[in-house]
Structures are given as structure tokens and as C-alpha cells.
Amino acid sequence: MKKKLYQCVPQDLKWKEDKMIIQSQFKKENDEICYLLGFNNYIIITKVMKVFQPQDLQQQPKKYIHLDFDIKFEILRENQVKQGDEDDSLGQIKGISLIKDLGNETITYKKYLGGEKIIKQWREYLSNRINQWQFHQMFKVYKKIGKGNFASVYLAQKIEDQKKMAIKAFSKQAAYAEEQGKEAIVNELKIMRQLNHAHIMQMHEVYETSNSLYVALELLEGGSLYDLIKEKTLLSTTQIQQIMVGVLQGLHHMHQKKIMHRDLKLENILFKQQKQMDSVVIADFGLATKVDEPVYLYYRCGTPGYVAPEVINIKDVQGHYSEVCDIFSLGLVFYLLLSGKQAFPGKSYGTVVKQNREAVIDFKIKQLQQAPSQALDLMKKMLERDPNKRVSATDCLKHPFLAEMNNQMADDFVNDSFDEIDEIGEVALRMNALNEETIKFDAFRRNAILNSPGSPGILDTKQLKQQKVIDSLNQLQMNSPLLNGKTDTFDSIPNIGTPKNKQCQNGFQQSPMIKHSQFKKSIPLQQQNQDNPLQKYSQQQKN
């Protein structure tokens, strides 16, 4: 049975009070004129004359579309005569189609015809709320750059504007079959659509076909913080400040929207460009959630060794905690960057979990003895066990250890870094003292490298491998599509022309309890050729 796209406007819909975001006149296929009024999460359809405010409507509208996960849109174009197999040009935009995806049932759709400028405005409005139907004709795909047991990631270029992106593709059937699979996808898309910041990985668009989902993400070419540590890169104190400020500015943006990440660790801190620490971004929002959700999708989650104590110790499924859980996780990363040691250095999964639960941290290890006093002060405040006493992202950016770097990297963060002081000279004295400590600490770490392979500031290879084992045995949650979507290997973007056959860093089977971003998920190998032009395009590039 064919189901309708529209619903009757419910009596409790306060459309006259809600803010209207966009409105336009369209022509339907039968040449009838209609008007669409776009609000935050629904569209009203009316036949009356164009209005400027909802209250100007002469009568109660009868039809509306609630913009939930089952509603998609597609850009309609004029038919284009191809000049050959290599011709990827697109026809002129002529309209937009709204679609209701009912799975195995009939798809219902309506076409609205209008000028290209209007359609592009509606595309921008809809892209921030729902997925776009179809994918194949919109992208030129060059190469698979990442893969895992269930995941495939491709380097692609959008034909319309030639913009390069990373496309993560996965099977809807496989994802939805997992426990809370669809809910996890809806949650992550909703979270990422609310975020727009230089230090947060950007999600450009989301496309769907009947079988697959394609997520177009910002192409990050600088690798991860894990990669840097694995390569034994010694980061200077200034570089550590850049990383910390960038991540904190991203967290500040998230926390203002009452969103918490809940899985900050080395692998989820990435860089836009190689060797540019100020290009740092936060990635992987598979565990992110709103602080005020009545019940969290996953209430106890994350990676042992990086989890805030209030999260790892929570026992009530309906319990809550706040966004400062991310500050604790980042504090553990900070500890590792400065000392080269993990705050919870257990050699087994059980030991690390126990240490993480107790959250007793040794700040007197020899690797931190010559660390700048301001750095230690900030670290202790970030690693405060009591979340009610822990500093916020805003407080961290104002802290003397990071304030000057925050000034240099200021984006949308309104900076009032220092508290009011009587004499401006006190600021200069404070900064000079910090610079002197920083110089001594960097020299201490450089000298240590020359004398010992397991030096301060460089995480020992055995420790790093051990943490990967801990990651693989993470027992904090039950199975979900976020686990199976993990991408185990990823080629270096600058070496895109040189295929690599990398072995998975982690030889252990993932526990059914760990959570990773849904968008590391992809099409199982046996399904990839059914509804996936990416394989075809990749093969063409090789030939």
C-alpha cells in the first residue's frame, strides 16, 4: 500500500510561534502553484499567496512534513547528453523532490520545480536536517583510502564544485541489524549537524540509496595524534599548547550546545595538515550525546584509560553526568603528552579499568618533575575526580598556561583570558616565567631522548601497543553498529597515488562492548558490488 508523504497539521503544532527559516514558491508537476514554508524540523505546504510570516496566512494549513530520518530529498536536474564514458557533467538544476523512505514498502515522493538559486537555498536548508537521496551521479571517486572488516573509505571529488572529500560508505542492512543500530545512526547524524567549528571535523552532506549510506566528510590530511605518538614524535611544549587549545576550543563550541563527546583519546584527535598542530580537530562522534537527554543511548561508554570516573562508575541506566567528563578525558591525554606515560599504566584490561575507576593519578613521577608549574596546575584541575569541582573548557582556555596560545588561535571564542589585575606588568612577568620553565622542560626531554629510548615526552612503544589491547578489550557497553564500523587501516592522504597494504594495528578481536563512530562503518565485501559505484570508479582509476 502506498503511503502518503504528507501528514495533517497536528492541533498542537505551534507553527505561528516557531521561527520560519525559509519560504519559496514552487510549481508542481501539474503546473499548480504551491508554497513551502521551512521551519527547524518540519515543512508546511500551502496553496495560498506567498507569505512573509506564518501569522500572515489567511487560514490554517492542512499539510505538513515532519523532517524525521525517513524523509529524504533529491535535487532534480535536466537530462544531460553525455559526450562519452568519462563525461561526468551534470544537467542544470530544475527542482527538488521530497521522498518518504519506507524501506521495503513503496517510496512516496513529490516534485517541486523552481529556479536554481531557490533550489540551492533549499538544499542547504535540508542538508542540515535530512539525508539526500541517491549519490552515484554526484561524485567522482578516485581511490579506496581506508578499510576494515565492515568499513570502506574513499577519496572522492564532488563533481559540482570539484571539492575533495572523504566518503565513508556502509550497508544500511548491516547497520540496522545491530542492537540500537538505527538509533545510533540517527543520533550521530543529528549531533554532527549541530556542530560547525574549525576544530571539529566537518560533515558536509549525507547521501542514501536503497541499500547504502554515504557520509561526505572533511578530508583531513594530517593523520592522528596516535600516529604522532606511534612515530615517537617529540612534541614541544608549544606544540602541546596548540593541540590543547584547539581541542578545547572545539569542546567549548560543543559544550555551549550541551553536547558531550565521551570518547576523547589519541585516535580521535586528528589534524588537517601534517606537522601543523594548530590544525587539530576532534573526530568520531559515535558516542556523543546531549547532556540533557532523558536517557542516554549509551550511559557507560568510552575507552578505559581515557574515561572520566563519573562515567565509568555510573550504575543507574537513567543516571546523568555533565560535559566536564570530556575535560577529564582530555586531561588524561594532556598527562600523556607531557610525561610520555599513561596516567593509568596497568598491564591488563582489568587493572586499567580498576585504576580508571579509582582515578588516583600520580603527579610526582620523574617525567613531570621539571614540567612548567602552570602546566601541572592546569592538569590537576582537569583531572579533578569530583566533576563538580573540575574546570570547564572556558576555564581551561583562560588558564595562564594556555591563555596566550588561545589569543593566537582565537576563533569564535570570546577571549577574556586573564582575570582583572592591578598592574599590566604582572601579565608579562607571568608569561616570562612560563617561557623560562617551558625552555628548561623541552631541553630536559630532548636530553632524555638521547640517553634513553623510553624517554619523557615519548610514549613507549610497548605502552602504546598495550593501550591498543585495552582499546580492543573495552567492556563498557553492549554491541552496536558503532563497533563494527571501525576502520582498521587508513592510507596517508598525501601518498594517495601509492597504494599501501597495511596490517591492522590491532590483532585482537574487538569486544562486543566497545563503541566507535558509525561512520567508520561500510558495506560488507559480499554486498559492495550490489549498490556501490565506488568499486567501479576505483577500478577505472587503476586502469
CA distances from residue 126 to 97, 132, 137, 329, 505 in whole angstroms, order as listed: 11, 8, 19, 34, 39
The span from the CA of 11 to the CA of 25, in Å, is 25
| Whole-model pTM over 0.85 | no
Residues placed in the known binding site for ATP? 168
Which of 417, 414, 424 is closest to 396 using CA atoms? 417
Higher pLDDT, 475 or 238: 238
Tens digits of residue pLDDT in 49-93: 655 666 666 567 889 999 999 999 999 999 877 777 677 778 899
Decide: residue 521, CB within 10 A, 0-12 exposed, 13-18 middle, 19+ buried.
Answer: buried
C-alpha cell at 465: 601497543
Q: Which residues are annotated as a binding site?
A: 168
Q: Which domains, from first to last, does the chain contain?
A: 1-133 (2.30.29.30), 138-219+478-543 (3.30.200.20), 225-472 (1.10.510.10)
Which has more confidence, 322 or 346? 322
Per-residue pLDDT of 284-331, as tens digits, reads 898 999 999 999 988 888 889 999 999 999 998 889 999 999 999 999
